[in-house]
Structure 1
Amino acid sequence: MIQNEMSRRRLLGLGVGLGAAATLTLAGCGGGSSTKGSTAAGNGGKDYTGPKVDLKLWNGFTGGDGDIFKKLVEQFNSEHQNIAVSVITYEWQDYYSKLPGAVTSGNGPDIAVMHMDQLATFAARGVITELDDVAKALELSEGDFAPTVWKGGIYHDKRYGIPLDMHPMGFYYNKAVMQKGGLDPNKPPTTKDEFTAALTELKKAGVQGFWVSPFQFTGGMTFYSLLHQWGGTLFDADVAKATFNSDPAVEACTWLVDLIKQGFSPANVGQDADYLALKSGKNAFNFNGIWQINDLKKSPSVQWGVAPLPQIGSQKATWANSHNFTIVKQRSADNNKVSGAKVFINWLSQHSLDWAKGGQIPARKEVREGAEFKALPEISALAPELEYAAFPPAAPGLGEVMTTFYNAFNEAALGKKSPKQALDDGVNKANKQLEDNRKKYGN
């Protein structure tokens, strides 16, 4: 029952689990001092007046969002006779594993779309180039974006990514199942007490209302969100020590595991089974990524709604990630290509309203606050989460550590260990990985 589309969607936010592929040694990346195309003005992306350049762009948009992305590129090409962008698309997992070797061999792309939590790794390895001049020339600042998204593109006080969007978790609810439990289908729970009360009523009606998945997608991401809602963090401020076994973290994990013990959720939920149950009317609630909106729109028989995550802990928080544009370093730098790439990045950032229709929240504030974006009801409903989204920190090699975090939750959710033991063991392993990363990346 696991659909290919959902398998692809699981990788949409999967910068976090792919760090190992990006940590390959990139000897020679960005090496060489040969420079071509010195005729380009190099004004940070305002315009390009040099000779025609052909640019390769790598991305991982393999579903419906990919079709929208390609149409935007076609529009760009039609408006810029001296810049031709060709799109090369891979599954995200393949994308991140192929990129290091391609760059080393001189066959890498000119532009690469990258998840926020991958920027630090690729910047540390010298794969992508600095973009401070783009931000300066286009007069972009933190005020034009949500602060968390803007800061996520910075590594060692230098900008490596221009944010395009953010994709958070949303709270999906099946209205028909809510009615079965005697609940108001137009008033999803927004607090811990309301959520628990709703689950209790659903249980009386014979419905296990919220299925806790032991997998990263989506149980681990739910725990990630609730850990921050309880006031915890995954790491200390310097990302030198893991802290996801703190008292708030244990409380959040215990609360989720107790939903299973109390019968509000079945045990041993399979991958994607929580979401499939929502679609088939077997449960009422599901925490899942914004990317499921377009999937649910393909099922007109399902009566559903989406809202920001309920506040279960002491503060609002949600898991989120962001796509950023980057420019890849080349063995032989071509200033014309670099200048053309910057023009493309700026253009697509300005057209992020069209991109939002693919199931993303635009990073640019002016687009997000416009009437046209607000006319996209389901997607714009999750826009408020941008202000309190918990993005992964900018630290190289973080992917392997995040996998350890999600594995710790998996052991707790499956009942293999108590929440505290699972998180303690996970932190011990994560701290060793963080120490190895400091040696590997010189941080």
Structure 2
Amino acid sequence: MTHGTAERAPDPGARGPSRRTMMQGTLGAGALVAAGSLSSCAGSIAGAATSGTLVRIWDLLGGSDGQIMGEIVDEVRVELPDISIDRTTLAWGAPYYTKLAMASTGGRAPEAAVMHLSRLIGYAPGGLLEPFDMDMLEQVGIRESDIPAALFERCLFQDEMYALPLDTHPFITFYNPAIAEPAGLLNPDGTLIEITSPDEFLDAGRAMADVTGAQGIAYGYLSDPAQAWRLFWGLYGQSGAEYDFTPGQDVGFDDGTAVELLEFMQSMLDGTVAAPNSDYGSAIANFTTEQAGLILSGVWEKTSLQGAFPDLGGSPVPVMFGTPAAFGDSHSYVLPRQLTPNPARREATYEVLGAILKQGLTWAGAGHIPSLIPVVESPEYQDLVPQSNYAQAAESIFLDPPVWFAGSGSDFQNRMCQAMQTALQGLGSARDSVDTMIREMNTFLATPAPA
């Protein structure tokens, strides 16, 4: 291990982005930003009701996500006619978070906003957010026990709840039963057989390649700002290896385990198990044209993939390294700091957010796993396929390290992917790539959080 011991609490002195940071997004109606492999989170401006207590909500949900959320908000407007919901959808990525930080510091913040949970630690310590009142949440029917423990733990900062999760969206596997079944990889009920080691996973890929005549597994990582990290960090969680990302100190990171994991990823990209140089779009195309029987991707692709294969199967990434862990994140609601709090709007905000979360069955249509355990355990959700077959991934969700520079859409993820890409393309060793990753991690840790 390079340094340190187990994961520890983040530096309470870390703060969110500077209000001096340049905002890069266009905020007009219909504005869209391509966001690499999370294109479903891109967005535009949406409309609002015009009467009643005003609750303004910002989000970054575009594509099918945005359409389904629009349907949910319309249902909540009917359910709560005395509340006027103004939903604004902005461009996904760094510009969104910059805009949110500027609004909080400048007194122009909405009552609520969607934030990736992995980004919370960059905002809560700097006073940009306000904690949720657990009693008020209970009044609208939301309890701590309704949220998976692994998810709820990441919602806390200094023992207060700063995020209300809408979902989890893990990195999983989707599979085509027409290929997986003749490859001998399905149980009698159509679910994926248990795979418990790297060798078994590679064998499964070869078996599907025998059926397709091409590759067995579709995996797009080339020039992508997140895909290599998603697979690697999820496997790191499965290994049970320790890590310590304490700002101002060298990273605590099990470099031996990291090399082993990256070497496994290299072995997968042999042209038979998976294509050696595939980008995100090519992987989707190879899967949907039956050039591969299984794809490593995120739950957000469920809608498009099920359009190609109505009997689409899904499963968590197999536990190949001993410990259940699923890389993922969570769309979560936060309460941006209000310079002049309005009690009526705050009470209405809790009502609206509670009503949205209770529409989790509708939100599951986008592929995301609803955050509320009672929704996931309901007979209606259990009838959803493939969603119910990968829902257990939420119980072992493994987010980015809790530091201000990590999380969805971050330069940290991009730099980790760049470091790994050399090894994945066969242009360098796994050891050299891991050494580069560690140097990059230490550079980030040595950089003070923006004031």
Q: TM-score, normalised by structure 2?
A: 0.79
Report which stretch shifted further, 71-80 or 163-172: 71-80
Cross-structure match for 2:235 = 226
Q: Deviations over 1:183-242 (max 9, x none)?
A: 669463532343222233345564221244333453331122222222235x31757553
Q: How does 1:12-411 map to 2 (within 5 A)?
A: 23-25=17-19, 52-93=52-93, 94-133=95-134, 134-135=136-137, 140-178=142-180, 186=190, 188-191=192-195, 192=197, 193-204=199-210, 206-214=213-221, 215-233=224-242, 235-236=243-244, 238=246, 241-244=250-253, 246-261=255-270, 263-300=272-309, 304-398=312-406, 399-411=410-422
Shift of 1:408: 2.2
Structure 1, residues 93-139: CA drift from partner, whole Å, max 9, x if none?
24223222333443332210111011121212322211134446557
Aligned to 1:424: 435
Give the match for residue 12 of structure 2: none
| Counterpart residue number, 1:13 | none
Shift of 1:337: 1.6
Runs (5+) with no aligned partner, structure 1: 1-20, 28-50
The letter for the 2-side match of 1:115 is: H
Residue 293 of structure 1 deviates from its aligned partner by 1.4
Give the superposition deviation at 1:363.
0.9
Task: State how far apart, in whole Å, the 2-side matches of 1:433 and 1:279 are.
Answer: 38
Partner deviation per Cα, 1:217-269 (whole Å, 9 max, x = no partner): 53331122222222235x31757553455222211111111222474333221
Distance 2:311 2:386 in 1: 13
1:210 is aligned with what amino acid? I
Instruction: Name whichever of 176-185 and 357-366 sits farther off.
Output: 176-185
Is the contact made by 1:72 and 1:348 (CA closer than 8 Å) also made in structure 2?
yes
The 1:261/1:102 distance shift into structure 2, 3 A limit, reads: same
Tell me if structure 2 keeps the 8 A contact 1:112–1:327: yes
CA–CA distance in structure 2, aligned partners of residues 63 and 169 of structure 1: 19
| Number of equivalences | 395
- Within 2, Cα distance between the matches of 1:245 and 1:420? 12
Higher mean displacement: 264-273 or 316-325 = 264-273
Q: Classify 1:416/1:130 alpha carbon distance in 2 versus 1 (closer, same or farther; 3 Å).
A: same
**1:343–1:204: structure 2 CA closer, same or farther, 3 Å change rule?**
closer
8 Å CA contact 1:236–1:242 kept in 2: the answer is: yes
1:20-75, CA deviations, whole angstroms, 9 ceiling, x for partnerless residues? x9622379xxxxxxxxxxxxxxxxxxxxxxx9421211111112222221222222
Alpha-carbon distance in 2 for matches of 1:241, 1:147? 29
CA RMSD, aligned part only? Answer: 2.8
Are 2:313 and 2:385, in contact at CA under 8 Å, matched by a contact in 1? no
Task: Give the secondary-structure state (helix, strand or coil) at the position aligned to 2:123.
Answer: helix
Taking structure 1 as reference, are residues 358 and 187 closer, same or farther at Cα in structure 2, changes over 3 Å only?
Answer: closer
Alpha-carbon distance in 2 for matches of 1:369, 1:202? 32
CA contact (8 A) 1:223 1:252 kept: yes
Does the C-alpha gap of structure 1 residues 183 and 99 become closer, same or farther in structure 2, counting only changes over 3 Å? closer
Amino acid at match of 1:403: N
Matched position secondary structure for 1:58:
strand
Q: Distance in 1 between matches of 2:253 and 2:218?
A: 23
Q: Which runs of 5+ in 2 are unaligned?
A: 1-14, 22-50
Contact 1:317 1:388 in 2 (8 A): yes
Match of 1:414 among 425, 430, 435: 425
- Give 1:145 shift: 1.2
Q: CA deviation at 1:312?
A: 1.8
Mapped contact 1:401–1:434 kept (Cα < 8 A): no
Q: Is this contact kept in 2: 1:199–1:264, CA < 8 A?
A: yes
Using the alignment, how far apart are the partners of 2:253 and 2:413 within structure 1? 11
The one-letter code of the counterpart of 1:404 is: R
Check whether the contact 1:243–1:427 (CA below 8 A) recurs between aligned residues. no
- For the structure 1 residues 208 and 84, does the alpha-carbon distance in structure 2 shift closer, same or farther, using more than 3 Å as the test? same
- Deviation sequence 1:368-415 (CA, Å, 0-9, x none): 111111111211111111122212343323234333323222232123
SS of 1:291's partner is helix
1:38 counterpart residue number:
none
Q: Secondary structure at the match of 1:343?
A: helix
2: CA distance, partners of 1:386 / 1:129: 26
TM-score, normalised to structure 1's length?
0.80
SS at match of 1:427: helix
CA 1:198–1:54: 2 relative to 1, 3 Å? same
